[in-house]
Amino acid sequence: MTEDLKPGMTNIARRMVTDQNTAAAYGTGALGVFSTPAMISMMEEAAFLLLKKQGLSSVGTGVNIKHLRACLPGTPVWAEAEIESIDRRAVYFKVTAYDAQGEIGKGTHSRFIIDPEKFLQKLQNSKG
């Protein structure tokens, strides 16, 4: 299942900072700057799509992120996810977000490889 995955594999997700992904819009701050949740989402997307390109479905299981610098609307931003290690169906990533001036955030993210049908069936069966 994960035999084609290798440490060092990377993927990039890109976004534009807009009024809709600011801290003020997310309700996580008062300023119109790129929100931490939006940055984390972009980092997760880079990791998710790396696995998806390999034909794998996954769910996020952990994030440990530092938001280093603010970005105003109109700023292009991107995140790179790099596989650091793989433990059976658990995949661990180094994630870094950037704008044209350099790093805006960094940290780690983990994902777990799943079979979507089995995963959803298990959730349906556990409803109480």
pLDDT of residue 40: 98
What pLDDT does 2 receive? Answer: 76
Long-range contacts of 91-98 (CB under 8 A, 24+ apart): 91/2, 91/5, 91/47, 91/51, 91/58, 93/47, 95/43, 95/44, 95/46, 95/47, 95/65, 96/43, 97/39, 97/42, 97/43
Which residue intervals of the chain are DSSP H helices? 23-26, 36-53, 116-126
CB 33 within 8 A of CB 27: no
CB within 8 Å of 53: residues ≥ 6 apart = 11
Write out the chain's pLDDT in tens, 128 residues: 678 999 999 999 999 999 999 999 999 999 999 999 999 999 999 999 999 999 999 999 999 999 999 999 999 999 999 999 999 999 999 999 999 999 999 999 999 999 999 999 998 998 76
- pLDDT score of 15: 98
Q: What is the pLDDT of residue 126?
A: 87
Q: Which residues are catalytic?
A: 36, 44, 67
Neighbours of 89 (CB within 10 A): 14
Of the candidates 111, 95, 103, the residue with the CA atom closest to the CA atom of residue 42: 95
Please report where in the chains the tokens 């440990």 appear, as a residue.
Answer: 64
